[in-house]
Chain A
C-alpha cells in the first residue's frame, strides 16, 4: 500500500510542480491539495494523510501554526515543512512545533522525496546545509545571557553613580550635572535598583570593586 500525502502551498504552480514530481514515485500517492492553512487543517482531519507537505509561509494561518495544530490533534500525520528560509531560527521553530522534516525549496525534488521516506520511517530530515549541529549552535547563540548590570546603566546613570560614590548628595549631583535635584534623585534610585544595591555603603563598595572609584 502506498503512503498518502497532502500538499499545502498557497501557490498553485508550486503544488502542480510538486504533484508532477511525486507522480513518478509509485509508492507515494498525493491524495489532496490545499491552498491555505485553514483548508489544510480541515483536509488533514478528513483525509488523515500519512505525510503533510507544508509550505512555511502562507497568508492567514501560516505553516508554523498549521504544524502546531496538526501535530497536536493528529500526531500520526508526519509533517514536512517546505521553506525558502535556510535559517536555523525557522528550522528550530518548525521542529519545536512538531515538524519532522525541513526541506529547502531550492534544493529540489529528490530531497523532498528523501525527506518523505525518512518521515514515513519516523526519522528526522533536514535539507543540507541545515544540520542538527547548526541548530545547536543557533540555540546557543540565541541563549539569553545574564547581562552585567553595570552595562544596563545609561550614560547619565553612570555619571550619577560616579558622583554619588564620591559622596555627593543628590543636590550636589544635580548641580554638577545641571539637572534638577528630583531628576538626580530618580537617576540615583534607578542606579540602586538596577545594581541591586541598598545603601550608600553598597554603592561605594560596588564603585571600588568596579574601579569607578580609584582606591587610594
Chain B
C-alpha cells in the first residue's frame, strides 16, 4: 500500500470529526475540541495550505490537551512539539528539538518505535496503540499513541499524538485488584458456608451419636435396673435403687458435659475469664498439655460477641495444639490495652504451613477464627514455622472502632 500523506489541517479536521473521536478516543477527552468543531471546519476550509504555525491551527496545535509531536520522516528527529507534550514528558522545547524519541529515552520498549516505523512505512498511519514512555523525571507512564504521516514545511514528516492514560491504567489496575479481592472473598465465603454446613452436620452427627450411644444406652440400663427393682424382694431393693441412682448420676454428668461442650453456660453467666479457666482446666486434664495462662484486665464483662469470639478462638487454637503440635506445653495470654482486647496462644511444637492450610481451605478452624475476628472489626494473625511452633494473635476493639481506623488516627496524632 502506498503511504499516504496528509497535511496537518486535514489531519486535525479528520481528528476532530465526531465520528472519529468516538471511534478513537474515549468521550470527554477532547470535549474542548468537539465544541470547536464547527469553527475548526470553517477554519480548515479558509486556511487550507497555510503552514501549521500560522492561523487557527497554531492555536489548536499549541492549546491541544493532547500531546502532539511532529518528527521528520527520514531520521525521526523532532521538529515541533506542543505544550502538552512538554508537560507530559517534563522536557523543555530546547531539550527535545532535533532529538529522537530513542535518544531521549522516551520509549520504554524501543520495539514500539520499530513497530511505529513499520506501520508508517506500510500504511502511513497507526492509531491508538498503547505504549509506555519514560518522562524526564519519575516513573514510566502509559499513553495511547496515534501516528500519521504528513507534510511539514515541504518536508515529509509524521505527527505523533499521545494521550496519557496512566491514571486510567492505575484506576483499571485498582479495579482489577478490587475485583480480584471481591472474587477471593466470595470464594472464601462460599468455602466457609460449605464448611459451616459440614461442621453443622458433623456436630449433629456427634450429638445424635452421643444421645443414642451414651445417654440412650444408660437410660436403657436404668430401665432394666428399675424393672429388676420392681420384682425385687424387700431385702435387695436398696441395692437395686443404689444402682439406679448411680446410673442417674452418670446421666446427669453426661448431659451436663454435652451441654458444656456445645456452649459453656459460664461464658454467658460469668464471662470470659471463668469460662477460659474452666476450659483450660478441662483441656489440661484431658490432654495432659500444661497451659501457662497469664491475663490482665479480664475481671470485667466484654460485649457478648467478643467474649464468644475470644473463647472460640482460644478453644480452636488449643484443639489444634492437641491435634498437631505434639507438644506438652503451651501459653495463653490475654490482656486489655487501650480499648483493645488482645489474645495470644503460643506453642513450641511441630508447626505447620499456614498459607497452605488456608489455601487448601482444609482448615475450617483457621478461616473460621479469622472470620470471627474480622466480623468484629478485629484481626487475627496465625504464624507458624515448621519445627519451631505456632502463634495465634488476636485483637478485638472494645469501643466498636475498627482496628485499622484506630491505628490511622493514632499515626496521625503522633505525626502532628
The residue that B297 contacts in the complex, of A62, A144, A151, with Cβ under 8 A, is A144
* B411, CB-defined interface residue at 8 Å: yes
The residue that B277 contacts in the complex, of A138, A145, A147, A189, with Cβ under 8 A, is A138
State the Cβ distance, B296 to closest chain A Cβ, in Å.
4
Chain A residue nearest in CB terms to B407:
A186
Q: Does A146 lie within 8 Å of B296, measured CB to CB? A: yes
Interface size, B (range): 20 to 34
State the Cβ distance, A88 to closest chain B Cβ, in Å.
9
- Bound state CA distance, A52 and B414, in angstroms? 58
- Bound state CA distance, A84 and B265, in angstroms? 11
Q: Does B393 lie within 8 Å of A154, measured CB to CB? A: yes
Q: Does A182 lie within 8 Å of B411, measured CB to CB? A: yes
**Size of chain A's interface in residues, with CB distance under 8 A?**
28
Encoded as 1 (CB less than 8 Å from any A CB) or 0, chain B from 334 to 351 comes to 010100001010000000
Given contacts A154-B393, A185-B411, contact A87 B297 (CB under 8 A): no
* B357, CB-defined interface residue at 8 Å: no
Q: Does A57 lie within 8 Å of B298, measured CB to CB? A: no
CB proximity to A under 8 Å, residues B255-284: 256, 265-266, 269-270, 273-274, 277-278
* A118, CB-defined interface residue at 8 Å: no
- Bound state CA distance, A84 and B391, in angstroms? 36
State the Cβ distance, B253 to closest chain A Cβ, in Å.
8
Q: Does B296 lie within 8 Å of A145, measured CB to CB? A: yes
Encoded as 1 (CB less than 8 Å from any B CB) or 0, chain A from 51 to 74 comes to 000001100001010000000000
A146: chain B residues at CB < 8 Å are 296
B393: chain A residues at CB < 8 Å are 154-155
B410: chain A residues at CB < 8 Å are 186, 189
- Bound state CA distance, A186 and B409, in angstroms? 11
* B299, CB-defined interface residue at 8 Å: yes
State the Cβ distance, A164 to closest chain B Cβ, in Å.
16
Q: Does B252 lie within 8 Å of A57, measured CB to CB? A: no
Chain A residue nearest in CB terms to B296:
A144
Chain A residue nearest in CB terms to B253:
A106
B344: chain A residues at CB < 8 Å are 151-152
Q: Does A57 lie within 8 Å of B295, measured CB to CB? A: no
B256: chain A residues at CB < 8 Å are 84
The residue that A189 contacts in the complex, of B278, B295, B333, B414, with Cβ under 8 A, is B414
A93: chain B residues at CB < 8 Å are 269-270, 274
A142: chain B residues at CB < 8 Å are 273-274, 277, 299
The residue that B295 contacts in the complex, of A56, A87, A145, with Cβ under 8 A, is A145
A147: chain B residues at CB < 8 Å are 294-296, 333, 335
Q: Does A145 lie within 8 Å of B294, measured CB to CB? A: yes
State the Cβ distance, A161 to closest chain B Cβ, in Å.
15
A152: chain B residues at CB < 8 Å are 333, 335, 337, 342, 344
Q: Does B383 lie within 8 Å of A155, measured CB to CB? A: yes
Q: Does A87 lie within 8 Å of B333, measured CB to CB? A: no
Encoded as 1 (CB less than 8 Å from any A CB) or 0, chain B from 228 to 269 comes to 000000000000000000000100100010000000011001
Chain B residue nearest in CB terms to A144:
B296
* A90, CB-defined interface residue at 8 Å: yes
* B370, CB-defined interface residue at 8 Å: no
* A168, CB-defined interface residue at 8 Å: no
B383: chain A residues at CB < 8 Å are 155
A182: chain B residues at CB < 8 Å are 411
Chain B residue nearest in CB terms to A155:
B383
Chain B residue nearest in CB terms to A156:
B381
- Bound state CA distance, A57 and B264, in angstroms? 13
A144: chain B residues at CB < 8 Å are 295-299
- Bound state CA distance, A155 and B393, in angstroms? 9
Q: Does B249 lie within 8 Å of A106, measured CB to CB? A: yes
The residue that A87 contacts in the complex, of B252, B266, B273, B414, with Cβ under 8 A, is B266
State the Cβ distance, A199 to closest chain B Cβ, in Å.
15
State the Cβ distance, A108 to closest chain B Cβ, in Å.
9
- Given contacts A85-B266, A151-B294, A151-B344, 7 further A-B pairs with CB under 8 A are A84-B252, A87-B274, A90-B270, A93-B270, A142-B273, A147-B296, A147-B333
Which 7 pairs between the two chains have the least Cβ-Cβ distance?
A89-B274, A144-B296, A145-B294, A89-B270, A147-B294, A155-B383, A106-B252
Q: Which residues of B contact A (CB under 8 A)?
A: 249, 252, 256, 265-266, 269-270, 273-274, 277-278, 294-299, 333, 335, 337, 342, 344, 381, 383, 391, 393, 407, 410-411, 414
Q: Which residues of A contact B (CB under 8 A)?
A: 56-57, 62, 64, 84-85, 87, 89-90, 93, 105-106, 138, 141-142, 144-147, 151-152, 154-155, 182, 185-186, 189, 194
Interchain residue pairs with CB less than 8 A apart (19)? A57-B265, A85-B266, A89-B266, A89-B270, A90-B269, A106-B249, A106-B252, A141-B277, A144-B299, A145-B295, A147-B333, A147-B335, A155-B393, A185-B411, A186-B410, A186-B411, A189-B410, A189-B414, A194-B337
